[in-house]
């Protein structure tokens, strides 16, 4: 019973962070929210008894992709049309 409640909470948390990542305009916030989404998916994999997939997800989706996105955002400059 408690596992289902925890699963539902993690699903809601993951969906909210993914939706926020879609609607935000600040790209650094989007990178952070995508990392939170990746960690949420990794927690779901762990609860569904797939620890190998969870470990890969937390490394790639929770760490590598947000760091690369943040570095790419930092390296680019904003050009205003005007």
pLDDT 10s digits, 5-30: 999 999 999 999 999 999 999 889 99
Distance CA 49, CA 36 (A): 20
In a domain, residue 23? The reply is yes
In a domain, residue 82? The reply is no
Domain interval for residue 33: 2-75
Residue-wise pLDDT for 27-65, tens only, equals 899 999 999 999 999 999 999 999 999 999 999 999 999
What pLDDT, on a 0 to 100 scale, did the predictor assign at position 12? 97
Q: Which residue has the higher pLDDT, 17 or 77?
A: 17
Q: Is 1 helix (H, G, I), strand (E, B) or coil?
A: coil
Domain count, the chain: 1
In a domain, residue 66? The reply is yes
């Amino acid at each position: 019973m408690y596992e289902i409640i925890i699963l539902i909470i993690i699903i809601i948390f993951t969906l909210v962070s993914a939706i926020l990542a879609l609607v935000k305009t600040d790209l650094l916030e989007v990178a952070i929210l995508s990392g939170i989404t990746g960690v949420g998916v990794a927690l779901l994999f762990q609860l569904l008894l797939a620890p190998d997939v969870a470990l890969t997800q937390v490394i790639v989706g929770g760490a590598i992709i947000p760091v690369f996105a943040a570095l790419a955002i930092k390296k680019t400059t904003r050009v205003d049309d005007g």
